[in-house]
Structures are given as structure tokens and as C-alpha cells.
Structure 1
Amino acid sequence: MPIALPVGLILALFIGLLIWLAPVQMVLLVLAGLASVVTVIRRPTLGLLLFCVLGTFIPYSTIQIGVRTTVSEAMIMLTWASYLLQAMFFDQPKRPPMQRTERLLLMLMLFSAFPFLVGQVSVVAEGNGPINWVRWLFNLSILFLVPRLLLERQTLEQLIMCLMLGTLAMLLMSIPVFLAERSATAMIPILGVLGYSGVDVLNSSLLALADRMGSPWMHPNVAGGALAMLLPLAFCYGLSRSGGPRSIALAVAVLGVIGLLLTGSRGALISLVAVMLWMARRRIPHLGRILLGGVFAGTALLLLYPPLQDRIMSLFSDDDVSTAIRFLEYSHFPDAVAMFPFGIGFKVDPPVLNYTEFGISNLWLNFVYKLGLPGMLLFIAITTSWWKQVRPAKGPIVLTADNCIALGTTCGVLAALFSGLFDHYFSFTPVLSALFWLFVGISLHENRRLHQQAIASFKSHVARPEQGERP
């Protein structure tokens, strides 16, 4: 008997019972979820595209799948399940050999089992270490999906547009709400409707940040870091395209700068400016004028919004609270390392209640806090290897439709690493760390393609004169 018949009967019975016993809204939600799962299982690439939309629009909307996780992370898990299921029954295209950066990341993932086990034993606190560890591994694993699923240029273009559309939707929701209410807490009711958990706790934590823009990223500094990483890609993609994609990407770039200023994330703002100055130094077209326009727009926003003036001026203040806390974090960090030389693992995040008083607002030192010194050294080795593979050649960079994605993702990763001097969010923060490793994977993938394309072009150019000399 064909398998479709019993499966169809079971689904029909299940849906019939659901319609009979459950409210209409729940039935529609379940049907939409089932349709999405079936579609992704048939086409794993759609799972990655959906992650790009959801991970930039509503990154922390949650779902219950035995344990509570974000919809974005569940989409990564579903994409992997779909890919492996497809690989069992169908021949997959031959993927390129692993690059050194990918091998080092795999080493970091394997090594993390040691601090995970140590933390489970040495840290006496409430927390689900195994689930947190598995979620973090899935966030990193998205890098390995890039060479497996982004095999065609059209698919990569669709993925970039999904990133832009998700970011644009997030900005179009967050900026008007903040401008209307002038409070970060105005987003709380909307986030509750979007399936965010712990809304009451979030409300109390945002009260101290009320004069900064709220968003689906929940914390203004996390939103600022995400925008700092996404904006270089939006600039490069928008400047090299035409029509609808150009309009969408440039809208993300313009609104993203406004959103970044309203978040008040000074580290993200400094990192974005630093990366764009480097891009301008490499003679990327129009960037000088864009920076000048950004200065004028930022000045106008400063004049119209006094809380932003206070936030920017606090950079030069001696009594800024957040700066003082960072100095306290650095001064207490050696004590934390001495107490947990092999890291605290994944049961809890720093600080550890009843053990340490402060966390650490630094990307690299947070790896030490969680995974010990070897974890940080592996992360440094990964980023160093990545830079050697994607570093542009000396001289001016000619921005084209062919290299804009490689350049945009490379600059986005640089902005994320630079912001790591001030914040730790790209290390273990769910979804944001997945976007970081997605950008690393795309930049590696695209730079390898451009390198192979350059080699093929050179060989063709060398072979032409020889062919012309033949009688």
C-alpha cells in the first residue's frame, strides 16, 4: 500500500480532531506550521531563507518543541534535519572541501564539550546546560549550511533579500513605535503578541533603558550590534543593484543608521564608523558622500532628540555609569578566571550567582569566561584564518554586482569583531551569533568563488595568445 494513503489518513484524522477540540486560531496556526515544516523538509534551502527573515525580524519569538527555543533556532534545526533526510534518499551535489576556517570552527565545537562537562559539575546553579550547549552548537553550525545549500547564485541573492526584508520589517516596526511613545517599553505589548516569552522580566529590565529604542532584539545594544553588522551589506548591495532590490537595500541602510542612533549603542556606532572609514580609505565609490550625508543626518537627529545628545556626550564623560561598570568588570575578571579556569560552561551566563558579581563586556574575554583560555585562542585562530582568506588585495576596491556580497559580509564581520571590544553579544547570544557565523560563511563562500573565477579568467587569458599562434 502506498505510504501516502496512511499518512494522509492520519493527518486528516489529526486535523479533524483539532478542528473539533481546539479554537479556530490554534487550528490555523497549526496548519500553517505543518505546511511550513513539510515545505522545508521538501526544500531545505527554504529553511535557511526563512531563518534569514525571522532571525532579523522577530529573532526571539519562541516555540515549544519539547523545550522552549526561538523560532529562528528551530528553523536552523529543521533545515539540518531536512538536509540530512534529503541526503539519505537523494544524491546531493558534491560540496567543496572544508576550508581551514571551517575545520577550526569544528575544532571549537568539539572542544566546547569539555568546558560544558566541567561547568555542569563545578557550577551549582539553576540552568539547562545541555539544551543551551546544543542551541549554541546549532547557531555555529549555520556556517556549514552555506556551502551545502547556497550552490546557485540565485539562491544567494534570495538569501540576501530575505535578510534585507526581515531587517526592513524590524526597523519599520521599531522606529515608529519609539518615535510615537519615546520609550523602549512601548515595544513590550507588541513582543508579547509576537510570541516572546518572559515579557514581564523584559519590561523591568527595559525601564532603565527607556530613552533608547526598543526592538525585537530586546536589548538596545544587541539591536545596535545587529544593525552594525547588517548595514555594510545593505550599503554594498544597494549601491550595486537596480530596481526593487536597490530600493529595499538602501531603505535598510538609511533606516538602519537612524535605528542605530536611536538604540544609543555607542560601541556599535563606533564600530560601524570605523569600518566605513576603512571602506572609504579603500576608495569604494560613493562612500565618502554617504559618510558626509550620515554626518549631517546624525547632527540633525542629535539636535532634534536630546536623549541622544546625552548618550553621545557620555562618551567623553568621567561619570558615565556603563563605562564605570565596564571598568569594574575588567578589574574583577581575573578573579572569575581564577575561580573557573576551564570556563563556566553553558549552564548559566556570566555573572554566576553566588560565585561572581560581574560579567565581561568583551567578545574575546567572554570566550575565556565560558570556555576557558583555549576557547578564546581557538576563536582567535578562526577569525585570523577567516581574514587571511577574505582579505581584499591591496589598492582601491572596485565595487561591482559580482563582489558586493563578499565585500558587504566581510565588512559586516569586521564591524561585529570591532564592536566586540565593547560588547560580548556575538559570542554566545542566540540568533545573533548565528547571523554572525552566517556572514562568516557567506564571505568565505563568495571569496572562494571570486578567487576561482579570477584563476579561470587568468588561465583563459594566458591560453588565448597560444591559440592565436597556432597555424
Structure 2
Amino acid sequence: MPLAFPLALIFSLVFGVMAWLLPAFKVAAALVGIAAIVTVIRKPLWGLLLFAVIATFLPYTTVEVGIRTTVSEALIMLVWASLMAQALFGQTGPRSQRLPTERLLIAFMLFSVFPFIIGLIVIKADGNGPVNWVRWLFNLSTLFLVPRLLDTRQAREQMIIGILLGTLAMLLLSIPVYLKNGTASSITPILESLGYSSTEAVEKGLASFNSRMGSTWMHPNVTGGALAMLLPLAACFGLTRKGWPRALGLAVTLLGGLGLLMTGSRGALLSLAVVLLWMASRKVPYTGRVLMTALVLGALTLVLYPPLQERVLALFSSNDASTSVRFDEYANFPEAMARYPFGIGFKVDPPVPDSGLYGISNLWLNYVYKLGVLGMLFFCAVIWSWWKHSRPQTKSLILTHDNAIWLGCTSGVMAALVSGLFDHYFSFTTVLIALFWLFLGLSLREAKRLAAAPAQPQTPAGSQP
């Protein structure tokens, strides 16, 4: 049975009732919104591509769908709803076989039921555990959308372009606002007008980071982590494409590097440096030039940009508050493990209110805090399985048009995991982890495609075939 007929019947009845009961302006606005929803239901790939743009440009713009959630997460939910509707009417094609990493992630998601229930029982604090848990599961589910919707090279190319367009829009908004006002909180009035909620609390939280660049990701360290994951993909894509996609990739690379320096996120900068050194050890073309250019531009920025000077000097200072807090968190962490051996679940984020404990600025240990040691081991198993199936099979790599998405996504996931040694944002931060698992899924599927493809003469990036 065609999906269009029942949709047309349902929405014609809805429009009739709305036109009878509501003013014309509200009916017109509802028509536009419902038309967008119907389009996504009929073409779920368009919804995923829209997610790529929104999640990188305005990740925390909110919408009311019974509960208040981000538009990015609402799009993920809508895409899954459209896939279920198509399955109901028999319009889905054959599914590809699940990879071992995907099966492990399903087991990990099922295991999370245990710490979720433990948290509801043990944690005596205000918080909506069921909603937080369901949102976390939907953020992880982007991994499974890759084989369902991004099963062709054209679809994956469109996804990368959507990610880069959203990132470019984020940089073009955030950098000028910061250069004009010089404070992280100067962007919060703009965010409020763009549908962000609780901007007063955000502005208060940014007070201690006010000399660093704010963005639509709100926190400078979250911005830095997101850029560290995105920049390798932008560089690999830009260096291997022609025309406006090449210009898009290189523009995101250059502006993203500048934005990363302005965030002052030391963990993100170090993680990106580690990935670049790994790529240089694999003899990836242009890596040496990129490292030299980054050193020169970094030195110039360090000379001309006082906030970065403060961040670098803080590395050698015994009074650096950020470093001091991290040492306190590590010293306090064994007590948190002893008090919550099975994790705190999803009702609240660390630290538990009124517990006298600290949080933890580490991706890996944050899994212990939330899901217990077994939960962290599950996560490590998923990551090891990903690396086993996605890692390079040769000592030297030639960056080509064919492998650019694989190398960019693999390097981006590596940067996120290294930055996890210094920050926890890639563990349970909504939207950001949806992008992380999307990158991981793209890396896996591209690696599988490359392994199955027949050997072909490879044309290095920048050379003529």
C-alpha cells in the first residue's frame, strides 16, 4: 500500500479541524511545519541530511514535542519514525548485514537498562531518568542510520557536505561575534533568538571562560572538541575534491583551525596534534605541510592573541584553576566509584547533587561514573571492534578521492577519543555524541567498502589522473 495515501488522508483531516478551530496565521505556520515533517517521513534521507546541517550549526536549538528537546534529536526521532512507517507499508529495501561493532553497540544499549534502573532507585535527586536515557539511546542510534540511509557513495558525499555546511555556518556566526565583542557570553543573546533555552544559566556558566570564544556549541571546550573531530574530515575532503566542495572543505579547515585556537581548548589542540602526528607517521600527503603551517599560524596567533597566551602560560603555572580542579576530580574519583559501584544511571549528570563528590573530566572514566566499570568495558569493546575493522591495513597511506571520507572520519573519531583523556563531552553530551557515532558508522562502512573494492590505481590528492 503506498505510504502517500494514508498520510494524505490523515493530514487532510487534521488541516480541516485546524482551519475550523485556529486563526489563519497559526494554521499557515502549522502547514509549513507539517509539510516538512511529511517530507522527512517520505524521504528519511533528507531528514538525516538536515540533521547534519542543524547539528553542526545550531545543535541546541530546542523544540517542544511533548517534552522539550533539541531540534537535532527531534530529527533523529523523526527519521526513525519514517523508517518504521515505511517498514509498516513494505517500502524498505533489503537490509545489509550487521557488522560486529554494530552488534556490540546493540548489546551495550541493552546493558544500559541495568544502570538506568539502579540510578532510578539509588539517586535521590530531581531529574528525569527515563527521558535522559531514551535521548541517549537515540543519540547512539545514528550509527545504525548509516547502513540504512547512507548506503551509497552519493548519499555519503551529501552527508559530508551537509556536515561541512553546518560547520561553516557555525564558524561564520561565532568568529565575527567573538572578534567584535571579545567575550564568550556575547553570543548568548543571539542563541536565545535562535531558540536556545536557559541562556541565562549558560551566560552565567560562561563567566569563567569569558576571554575565550563562545559558539553555538556554547562551552569553549565543547566547541574545541567538536572542531578537533571535524577538521580532519574537512581537510581530507577539501584536498581531494574539485570546485565548490573543495572550497567548502578548505574554508572549514582554515576557519576551524582559527576557531579552535580561539576556544583555547588545550585538550582539543593536543588531540588534533596527536592525530596529525599519527597521519605523518603513516606518510599521508600534506601532513608535514599542515603541521608546519599550523606551527607558524599558531605562533602568530600566540603573539597576537592574549587569551591564548594565558592558556599556554597556565600549563606551567601552579595556580591554573582548570588543572587544579582536574587533579581534585581524579583524587576524589575512587570515593565516587566506591559509593556508586554500578554507576549513577541517567537521572543526573556527575556529580550527584549534595553528595560532596566531584565530577570527572575524562570520557572513559565518565562511563564508569554513569554506567559502572562493566559499562566502561562495554564501551571499550565497541571502540576496539571499530578500530579492528577500520584501522589502516598498510604502513603508508595515499590520500585519494576514494578514501578521503574513510580517513577523515577515522581520524576524527581518533581525535575525539584522545580528547576524551582531558574532557568528558563525547560520552553523554547530547547531539555531540550523535555526531561521534555517526562518524564512527561512516568510518566502518567506508572501511568495509574499501576492503571489498577491487584494487585500483590510486591517484594522490592534488595530482592529475
Question: Are the aligned partners of 1:336 and 1:356 in contact in 2 as well (CA < 8 Å)?
Answer: no
Counterpart of 2:322 in structure 1 is: 322
| Worse-matched range after superposition: 287-296 or 77-86 | 287-296
Q: CA RMSD in A?
A: 1.5
The change in CA–CA distance for 1:32 and 1:5 in structure 2 (over 3 A counts) is: closer
Shift of residue 318 of structure 1?
Answer: 2.2
C-alpha distance in structure 2 between counterparts of 1:324 and 1:9, whole Å: 61
Which 5+ residue runs of structure 1 have no aligned equivalent? 459-471
Counterpart of 1:290 in structure 2 is: 290
C-alpha distance in structure 2 between counterparts of 1:405 and 1:6, whole Å: 41
Which 5+ residue runs of structure 2 have no aligned equivalent? 458-465
- Describe the superposition over 1:162-195 as per-residue Cα deviations: whole angstroms up to 9, x where unpaired: 0000000000000000000000111010000111
Pairing 1:2-401 to 2, within 5 Å after superposition: 4=8, 7-15=11-19, 17-20=21-24, 24=25, 29-401=29-401
DSSP 3-state at the match of 1:334: helix
Question: Are the aligned partners of 2:275 and 2:414 in contact in 1 as well (CA < 8 Å)?
Answer: yes
- Describe the superposition over 1:26-59 as per-residue Cα deviations: whole angstroms up to 9, x where unpaired: 6554333212111100001111111100100000
C-alpha distance in structure 2 between counterparts of 1:41 and 1:148, whole Å: 14
| Worse-matched range after superposition: 358-367 or 30-39 | 30-39
DSSP 3-state at the match of 1:316: coil
Aligned AA for 2:318? D
Instruction: Name the TM-score, length of structure 2 as normaliser.
Output: 0.95
Question: Are the aligned partners of 1:126 and 1:347 in contact in 2 as well (CA < 8 Å)?
Answer: yes
Shift of residue 93 of structure 1?
Answer: 2.3
Counterpart of 1:465 in structure 2 is: none
C-alpha distance in structure 1 between counterparts of 2:178 and 2:346, whole Å: 34
Question: Are the aligned partners of 2:18 and 2:27 in contact in 1 as well (CA < 8 Å)?
Answer: no
C-alpha distance in structure 2 between counterparts of 1:359 and 1:314, whole Å: 22
Aligned AA for 1:8? S
Alignment length, in residue pairs? 452
C-alpha distance in structure 2 between counterparts of 1:201 and 1:106, whole Å: 35
Shift of residue 7 of structure 1?
Answer: 3.6
Question: Are the aligned partners of 1:390 and 1:447 in contact in 2 as well (CA < 8 Å)?
Answer: yes
C-alpha distance in structure 1 between counterparts of 2:316 and 2:186, whole Å: 29
| Worse-matched range after superposition: 205-214 or 29-38 | 29-38
DSSP 3-state at the match of 1:69: strand
C-alpha distance in structure 2 between counterparts of 1:421 and 1:408, whole Å: 21
How much identity, in percent, do the aligned residues show? 57
Aligned AA for 1:290? V
Counterpart of 1:464 in structure 2 is: none
C-alpha distance in structure 2 between counterparts of 1:177 and 1:137, whole Å: 34
C-alpha distance in structure 1 between counterparts of 2:313 and 2:28, whole Å: 50
C-alpha distance in structure 1 between counterparts of 2:450 and 2:202, whole Å: 44
Counterpart of 2:461 in structure 1 is: none
Question: Are the aligned partners of 1:185 and 1:203 in contact in 2 as well (CA < 8 Å)?
Answer: yes
The change in CA–CA distance for 1:6 and 1:51 in structure 2 (over 3 A counts) is: closer
Aligned AA for 2:206? L
C-alpha distance in structure 2 between counterparts of 1:421 and 1:339, whole Å: 23
Shift of residue 5 of structure 1?
Answer: 5.5
The change in CA–CA distance for 1:31 and 1:354 in structure 2 (over 3 A counts) is: same
Shift of residue 380 of structure 1?
Answer: 0.6
- Describe the superposition over 1:361-413 as per-residue Cα deviations: whole angstroms up to 9, x where unpaired: 11110000000000000011111111010110232101111100000000000
- Describe the superposition over 1:401-437 as per-residue Cα deviations: whole angstroms up to 9, x where unpaired: 1100000000000000000100010000000011000
